[in-house]
Amino acid sequence: MATLQTDSTRLTGRRVLICRPEPEASRLARQFQAAGAETHVFPLVDREPLPETPERRTTLLNLDEFSHVIAVSPYAARLLLDELDTWWPQLPTGLNWYGVGAGTAKALAEYGVTPRKPDEGWTSEALLKLPSLTNIEGERVLVARGEEGRELTRRTLEERGARVTIMPLYRRFCPDYTPAQINTALIAFAPDAIVALSGETLNNLIALCAKCSHNLYDRPVIVPARRIADQALAAGFNAPCIPGSLADNDIVAAVAEQLAGRDGGSGKAK
């Protein structure tokens, strides 16, 4: 492992393109800037809450009938708890709360619940290994997520005998950037590394790359999991990297390590 410089200098002269949604993108940018990097925030996924439906309201009012509540992202957790606050001034007891990863668990904890999360990893696969989700024959599970999402959690829990209710709370979409904005982010900024923390983000990046002349495929791209790394490799990126966790400081450390390794550990721009 390359020896890194101090936090305030280890990324001096480096340029990092951050493609995650706001407000997480700007928060991560500040962490990179503290390490000396230049950043360009270029979200390739945006989100907006879905309007309330009678079906969703009924599900929320019947929250006490569930045994398990899973939030798949910090955004899903915040939307769910904000809406529950309208109907449940005090949350029902006996619920098992889950966050897919430390960030989601933290978002739940900020609302006063005590969530469970994987000891290692931050994927649905890791969450599904928790003992409390193993023997759940006949138990009701609520999954708060986006309008579209992976079906692994639903499918696996139903195979285990659970009664799963999916609650879409928001939709994701790719912002409509102008050719000039795309050129600025992908070409003029000339990033040394790219942060793309979801499969959808990576797919949108790949689609934009196909429409313009660039040389990004040899740059380190930070992705959240092995399956996304495989997507990146299949698309032509030759340096996907999975950080130690999705905490901001671990993402910064992963970029610093990747770039320092390319320079023989110097941590300086070529």
Residue-wise DSSP of 68-91: EEEESSHHHHHHHHHHHHHH-SSP
Asked if 67 and 154 sit in the same domain, the reply is yes
Asked if 115 and 228 sit in the same domain, the reply is no
Can you name the residues that pair with 40 across neighbouring β-strands? 17
What is d(CA 181, CA 80) in angstroms, rounded to the nearest whole number? Answer: 34
pTM reported for the whole predicted model: 0.81
pLDDT band at 267; cut points 50, 70, 90:
very low
State residue 144's pLDDT score. Answer: 95
Asked if 139 and 229 sit in the same domain, the reply is no
Q: Provide the number of structural domains found in the chain.
A: 2
Q: Which residue, chain included where needed, has tokens 């996907």?
A: 240
Q: What is the CATH number of the domain that holds 34?
A: 3.40.50.10090
Asked if 188 and 159 sit in the same domain, the reply is no
Asked if 73 and 39 sit in the same domain, the reply is no
Q: Of 172, 201, 220, which residue sits at a domain end?
A: 172
- Mean pLDDT score, 192-210: 90
Asked if 126 and 195 sit in the same domain, the reply is no
What percent of the chain shows pLDDT beyond 90? 55
Across the chain, mean pLDDT equals 87
Q: Is residue 270 a part of any domain in this protein?
A: no
- Interval 147-199: pLDDT, tens: 887 788 999 999 999 999 999 999 999 999 998 999 899 889 999 999 999 88
CA distances, 4 to each of 7, 60, 88, 92, 240 (Å): 8, 48, 48, 48, 20
Asked if 189 and 244 sit in the same domain, the reply is yes
Say yes or no to pLDDT of 4 above 60. Answer: no
Q: Which residue, chain included where needed, has tokens 């999916």?
A: 166
> Which residues lie below 8 Å from residue 126, measured CB to CB, with a gap of 6+?
100, 118, 120
Q: Of 172, 202, 236, which residue sits at a domain end?
A: 172
Q: Of 117, 148, 172, which residue sits at a domain end?
A: 172
- Highest mean pLDDT among 9-13, 15-19, 96-100, 202-206 belongs to 15-19
Instruction: Show the domain range for 219.
Output: 15-45+175-262
Say yes or no to pLDDT of 7 above 60. Answer: no
Residue scoring higher pLDDT (120 or 264)? 120
State residue 69's pLDDT score. Answer: 96
- Mean pLDDT score, 57-78: 93
State residue 269's pLDDT score. Answer: 35
Asked if 123 and 203 sit in the same domain, the reply is no
Say yes or no to pLDDT of 105 above 70. Answer: yes
Say yes or no to pLDDT of 2 above 50. Answer: no
Q: What residue type is assigned to position 86 of the chain?
A: T
Q: Is residue 267 a part of any domain in this protein?
A: no
Asked if 36 and 70 sit in the same domain, the reply is no
Say yes or no to pLDDT of 43 above 80. Answer: yes
Residue scoring higher pLDDT (263 or 10)? 10
Say yes or no to pLDDT of 5 above 60. Answer: no
What is d(CA 221, CA 64) in angstroms, rounded to the nearest whole number? Answer: 43
Q: Is residue 9 a part of any domain in this protein?
A: no
Alpha carbon 15 to its chain's center: 21
Asked if 142 and 243 sit in the same domain, the reply is no
pLDDT band at 268; cut points 50, 70, 90:
very low
